[in-house]
Amino acid sequence: MHENQKPGAAEWVDPDDAPELTDAFFDQADIYKAGKLIRRGRPKLESPKAQVTLRLDADVLTGLRATGPGWQSRANTALKQWLASQRRRAG
């Protein structure tokens, strides 16, 4: 090992040994439009949900989780419906 080389530094690799660039490689590549990186994934929501800490009774939490995957979204929907009913009462 050379004295000025850091231990664990990657050794030089011959460019002729580089893997072939396949369609799968290009499917994962970053996409730029007019010099701006186009983000992958879900588009940004107009009103994204906020993460909160909420303390619930154990039986309420157990009951919600027992409904299976998506229980948090269903809890959100139930709270929205409750708020709408409260607005109707007040209005």
Going by pLDDT thresholds of 50, 70 and 90, the confidence category of residue 9 is: low
Nearest by Cα to 41 from 26, 28, 22, 24 = 28
CA distance 91 to 85: 10
Nearest-5° angle of CA 61, CA 63, CA 66? 105
| Residue ranges of E strands in the chain | 31-33, 36-38
* pLDDT, tens digit, 9 for 90 and up, residues 56-75: 999 999 999 999 999 999 99
Q: What are the boundaries of each domain within the chain?
A: 52-91
CA 49 to chain centre: 13
CA 14 to chain centre: 37
Above 80 in pLDDT, residue 46? yes
Above 60 in pLDDT, residue 1? no
CA atoms within 13 A on the CB side of 45: 4
Is pTM beyond 0.85 here?
no
